[in-house]
Amino acid sequence: MKRLLFALVILVMGSSFMQEDNFYVIYIKGGAINTVSNRGVRMGDMLKPTDKLILRDANSKLVLIHPKKGRLEITPKSAGKDLSVKDQAVSISSEYKIVSRPINYEGYNPRTYFHSPETNYRVLLVTGLPLKIIPFYKLDVQNFFYLQWEKEGAVIVRKIPASDRGIYFNQTVISNVDQLAEGQKVKFCYQHYEYGVLKNDVLAEFVPVVASLSEINRQVALIKKYSSQKESRVVNALVTAHLNDNYGKVGSEYLHNIR
């Protein structure tokens, strides 16, 4: 009896050791079908290493998190029709500087914050979340920030709401109706009075990538839950790299407010 029990314990331990960890979906662009379960892939789904995926089109991709392998992605280039997830998923190696909180932090300088060649000028704007700006820029009825871009030959100008907590990018600034072309830059501008003279300065040009707070929060939660990383510094680096890759530049203080 003891020998049988011992053999069962060894068998269970062996099968646990042999079992591969699952992958978890943390980001979807476009769509994909799991041909094993015959259903669409959704954010937060667990994928077995033996599952097989078909991407919806040439622009689709999935980003996965794995307890041991970290961040991976499945793109049209890696998604072979007869390959399983473990063979389709390719490791992501991204290196970005974390936009750290300045000493004696009072806010971000828009000239540098909205200038981001390292992310192809993409900057993440989370709807309704304040982005604190240095007090050098006076903000009131006559002095304010605004975005400007062109659409079908017309110049679009949108004032950016502000409070003592920062500036806000909500639906009044950029909405789904605006339908900016992919990769289209907008101008980040500042209207102000200097010695009684009205001036309008272009501080930066960038590609706005707008996302809701709930969308970003969910991805951050999935990374923290399934990455197996416990050290906050490592988790922050993972989250920052993920957001930089799939959305755009994000400052550490802004990221802290997201979570």
Question: Could you read off the pLDDT of 106-125 as tens digits, one per residue?
Answer: 899 999 999 999 999 999 99
Full residue range of the structural domain in which residue 26 is found: 7-91
Are both 71 and 115 inside the same structural domain? no
User: What value does the mean pLDDT of the chain take?
Assistant: 87
Residue 14 lies in a domain: yes
Asked if the structure places residue 156 within a domain, the reply is yes
Determine, yes or no, domain membership for 105: no
pLDDT value for 178? 74
Strands 53-55, 122-126: pairing is unpaired
- The count of structural domains within the chain is 2
Residues 230 and 169 in one domain: yes
Digit-coded pLDDT (tens) for 164-210: 999 999 888 987 767 788 899 999 999 999 888 999 999 999 999 99
Instruction: List the chain residues with pLDDT less than 50.
Output: 2, 4-19
Contacts 24+ apart (CB under 8 A), 66-74: 66/21, 66/22, 66/23, 66/24, 66/226, 67/21, 67/226, 67/227, 67/228, 68/21, 68/228, 70/227, 70/238, 71/26, 71/238, 71/241, 71/242, 72/23, 74/32
23 lies in the same domain as 68? yes
Q: Is residue 2 assigned to a domain?
A: no
Please name the residues in contact with 214: beta carbons below 8 A apart, sequence gap of 6 or more: none
Q: Which of 63, 91, 119 marks a domain boundary? A: 91
- End-of-domain residue from the set 91, 119, 152: 91
Question: Which pLDDT value is given to residue 259?
Answer: 63
Distance, first Cα to last Cα, the chain: 53
pLDDT of residue 99: 56
In a shared domain, residues 39 and 157: no
